[in-house]
Amino acid sequence: MSSTSITTEFEKNLEQEVEKRCQFIRQQVEQAGRKGIVVGLSGGIDSAVTAALCQRALGKENVLALFIGAHSAKEHEEDAELIAQSQGLRMIKVNLDSVTDQLVKQIQNSMVEGNIISEPLSTLTIGNTKARERMIVLYAVANQLGYLVAGTCNRTEIYLGYETKGGDQLCDFNPMASLVKAQVRALAAYLSIPEKIITKAPSADLWQGQTDEDEMGFTYEEVDRYILTGEGTDEVIQKIEKLHLCSDHKRKLPPVI
Ligand X SMILES: Nc1ncnc2c1ncn2[C@@H]1O[C@H](COP(=O)(O)OP(=O)(O)OC[C@H]2O[C@@H]([n+]3cccc(C(=O)O)c3)[C@H](O)[C@@H]2O)[C@@H](O)[C@H]1O
Q: State in angstroms the smallest separation of the CB of 125 from ligand X.
A: 8
Contacts (CB under 5 A) with Mg ion, residues 23-82? 42, 44
Contacts (CB under 6 A) with ligand ATP, residues 114-173? 134, 152, 157, 168
CA gap 140, 71 in Å, rounded? 20
Which listed option, ligand ATP, ligand X, Mg ion, none, makes contact with residue 165 (CB within 5 to 8 Å by class)?
Answer: ligand X
Residue from 42, 55, 87, 174 binding ligand ATP (CB under 6 A) = 42
Contacts (CB under 6 A) with ligand X, residues 153-192? 157, 161-165, 167-168
Which listed option, ligand X, ligand ATP, Mg ion, none, makes contact with residue 185 (CB within 5 to 8 Å by class)?
Answer: none
- Ligand-binding annotation for 249, yes or no, is yes
In the residue annotation, 46 being an active-site residue is answered as yes
Residue from 53, 66, 179, 206 binding ligand X (CB under 6 A) = 206
Q: How many residues bind ligand ATP (CB under 6 A)?
A: 22
Q: State in angstroms the smallest separation of the CB of 210 from ligand ATP.
A: 9
Please identify which of the residues 17, 79, 133, 157 carries the catalytic annotation. 157
Q: What is the 3-state secondary structure (H, E, C) of the chain?
A: CCHHHHCHHHHCCHHHHHHHHHHHHHHHHHHHCCCEEEEECCCCHHHHHHHHHHHHHHCHHHEEEEEEECCCCHHHHHHHHHHHHHHCCEEEEEECHHHHHHHHHHHHHHHHHCCCCCCCCCHHHHHHHHHHHHHHHHHHHHHHHCEEEECCCCHHHHHHCCCCCCCCCCCCECCCCCCCHHHHHHHHHHCCCCHHHHHCCCCCCCCCCCCHHHHHCCCHHHHHHHHHHCCCCHHHHHHHHHHHHHCHHHHCCCCCC
In the residue annotation, 213 being an active-site residue is answered as no
Q: In what order do the strands lie in the sheet with 90-95?
A: 90-95, 63-69, 36-40, 147-149
Q: State in angstroms the smallest separation of the CB of 36 from ligand X.
A: 24
Of 56 and 203, nearer to ligand ATP (C-beta) is: 203
Binding positions for ligand X, rule: CB under 6 A: 124, 127-128, 131, 157, 161-165, 167-168, 204, 206, 212, 215, 249
Active site residues: 46, 157
Binding residues for deamido-NAD(+): 132, 165, 172, 249-250
